[in-house]
Amino acid sequence: MASNDYNYSEEHIRTLDWIEHMRLRPGMYIGKLGDGTSPDDGIYILVKEVVDNAIDEFAMGFGKKIEIRVDKQQVMVRDYGRGIPLGKVIDCVSKMNTGAKYDSKAFQKSVGLNGVGTKAVNALSSWFRVQSTREGKSKVAEFEKGVITKDNKIAASTDRDGTLVEFIPDPDIFRNFHFIPEYLENQIWNYAYLNAGLTIQFNGQKYYSQNGLLDLLERKTNKEELRYPIIHLKGEDIEIAMSHNNDYGEEYYSFVNGQFTTQGGTHLAAFREAVVKTIREFYKKDYDASDIRQSIIAAVSVRVQEPVFESQTKTKLGSLNMAPDGPAVRTFINDFVRRELDNYLHKNPQAAEALQKRIMQSERERKEISGIKKLANERAKKANLHNRKLRDCRFHFSEDKDPRANDTMLFITEGDSASGSITKVRNVETQAVFSLKGKPLNVFGLTKRVVYENEEFNLLQHALNIEDGVDGLRYNQIVIATDADVDGMHIRLLLLTFFLQFFPEVVKNGHLYILQTPLFRVRNKKETIYCYDEEEKQKAMAKLGGKPEITRFKGLGEISPEEFAGFIGDDIRLEPVMIGTEKKVQELLQYYMGKNSMQRQEFIIKNLRIEKDTIIENATVEETTES
């Protein structure tokens, strides 16, 4: 029988106001919180919610310039649109279900429809300020954690019309947060590509695109590696750009009403299906869908009335029509691709020939590894993966759950001691551990056949479930955890080469990280401080005074499980692996992992002195500790 110790009565029923609810359950409004390490962390969603409003003004034909400034932890967004109606400024940022997006005449194809965005930013900010200017008058209001602190009267103003929003994310909610400039730049570039003709000033830098998605793909690719010139197709409420290169996997950028739908949705699924169907019909051959899409890089953007997203963060589009009385998105995209792509291929026979050669190459490669692939899959099963190599987490993986929307994490480490320490103190609900045996193989220049022939790589790809691409990825974050020494760095580079060579979309989609562990432990009888670099060590020594004990950690195995718990918990430090858009992946791999070149030798000689200084310094620390 159920216990009667806990009484359930009227006094246990609570009604939260909008601020309490947002601060108690922020994930419902902005997804996961994070600390800024991941591009979908909450602080970037806050920026996006404010910028979205400014973009909607531009999309409606008001204001061709947006100014954005991020100074450490404070954000400013200024548009030159119509400005919020002065009498409704406070309501629009502090009353739920209040806004103009419900009126399709005012905002026909905006991304925000629920009147939640800026309210969430307000509630989750330690300080929030909004100013609207319209026709020579201005209204200013300030808030702290959603509560109004200043309600200035409407006053005369000589400023241009528009809206200015400033805020500081609340550090009580976003612990130890920091903005990564590259993530913000990617966000802003996407706004520019999706709104040709709009000028965005970010921290004094100009972001502008004249050719939309064509510019996006040109920035994301290396022209020399493309198999044919980028195909750029535009129609009413739809724009597409695509090409094929020599990379493994598929790479997509999908948008709805200017919103970057990182998890895709109906529009992306329709595009992938339409490309396969159109190409089969054009060449009159029943090519395998995987061969057609292998090595594709594409961007697709649609604009719809009243879009239906699967969450408030708007990262995945649900099923809907282009307009309340219009065609379904799937039908609309299929008809457009079938017509326009077919026309392009007929008019550009050289591109059509190059595309077919790429498909046939993928077909040959797939058939070449089909035999070894089957044997490798059987070996993976016999190896009893989940007991021998992988300590899995308890998170329930299923086809209807996208790992990119959760906090699952896989640590890849080397050696029994390191993997043992992590395994003992990890969060068993969301954190898994994969243990490597020795140094991985350098796979630069090899074909994907090696992934199946090499036992370590075969088991790793099965653990991640990325054999057929990132759609099946089981963990949101893949964390390389190696020792902070030369051997550890070598293993790290070999793993990076593996992912960049065969699964580049894992890196490009922001799933790969490096675990930062402390290099030093500085302590006296009263306090222990862990330091991640020399600067932190010096500060710790100054704080503790006297002659504190200093330990230089040589490897993960030297860190006790009890200590490790603090390094992979709430205060975990992860360094995202990012590829700058100006970087060419194959050139990077050739430089670092290819055969020795004069260029690399010159680099090593030039930087050898720095390495010697580091070695000498570390040796001095160890000697001091031992004495």
pLDDT (0 to 100) of residue 318: 66
Q: Report the relative pairing of strands 125-134 and 162-169 from DSSP bridges.
A: antiparallel
pLDDT at 193 exceeding the cut of 80:
yes
pLDDT at 113 exceeding the cut of 80:
no
Query: 429 near 393, Cβ under 8 Å?
Result: yes
Task: Tell me how far apart the alpha carbons of residues 246 and 225 are, in angstroms, rounded to a whole number.
Answer: 7
- CB atoms under 10 Å from CB of 218, counted, come to 17
Single-letter amino acid code for the residue at 323: A
Q: Of 192, 241, 207, 200, which Cα lies nearest the Cα of 221?
A: 241
Burial of residue 518 (number of CB atoms within 10 Å: 0-12, 13-18, 19+) = buried
Single-letter amino acid code for the residue at 593: M
Task: Tell me how far apart the alpha carbons of residues 479 and 576 are, in angstroms, rounded to a whole number.
Answer: 9
Q: Of 193, 224, 225, 301, which Cα lies nearest the Cα of 504?
A: 225
pLDDT winner (highest mean) among 86-100, 164-178, 471-485: 164-178
Single-letter amino acid code for the residue at 360: M
What does residue 79 show for φ and ψ, rounded to 5 degrees?
A: -110, 170
User: Please, which pLDDT band fits residue 616 given cuts at 50, 70 and 90?
Assistant: very low
pLDDT winner (highest mean) among 102-111, 264-273, 587-596: 264-273
pLDDT (0 to 100) of residue 626: 35
Give the tokens for residue 273: 């299906």
Q: How far is CA 594 from CA 444, 482, 493, in A?
A: 7, 22, 12
Query: 47 near 125, Cβ under 8 Å?
Result: no
Give the tokens for residue 272: 């992938």
Helical axes 329-347 vs 266-283, angle rounded to 10°: 40
What is the rounded end-to-end Cα distance, in angstroms, of the chain? Answer: 64
Percentage of the chain modeled with pLDDT above 90: 50
Which residues, listed in sequence order, are joined to residue 197 by a DSSP beta bridge?
none
Domains with residue ranges and CATH for the chain: 18-207 (3.30.565.10), 213-367 (3.30.230.10), 370-517+555-579 (3.40.50.670)
180: left (phi over 0), alpha (psi -120 to 50) or beta: beta
Task: Tell me how far apart the alpha carbons of residues 263 and 37 are, in angstroms, rounded to a whole number.
Answer: 18
Vertex 573, ends 567 and 574: CA angle to 5°?
125
pLDDT (0 to 100) of residue 13: 56
Residue 178 three-state SS: coil
pLDDT (0 to 100) of residue 10: 64
Task: Tell me how far apart the alpha carbons of residues 404 and 393 are, in angstroms, rounded to a whole number.
Answer: 16
pLDDT at 619 exceeding the cut of 80:
no
pLDDT (0 to 100) of residue 12: 58
pLDDT, one tens digit per residue, over 384-422 is 555 568 898 888 765 555 555 567 999 999 877 788 889
pLDDT (0 to 100) of residue 47: 95
Q: Of 341, 255, 260, which Cα lies nearest the Cα of 303?
A: 255
- Catalytically active residues, by annotation: 414, 483, 485, 487
Percentage of the chain modeled with pLDDT above 70: 82
Side-chain half-sphere CA neighbours of 622 within 13 A: 10
pTM, to two decimals: 0.82
pLDDT at 336 exceeding the cut of 70:
yes
Task: Tell me how far apart the alpha carbons of residues 22 and 143 are, in angstroms, rounded to a whole number.
Answer: 15
pLDDT at 584 exceeding the cut of 70:
no
Burial of residue 38 (number of CB atoms within 10 Å: 0-12, 13-18, 19+) = buried
pLDDT at 120 exceeding the cut of 60:
yes
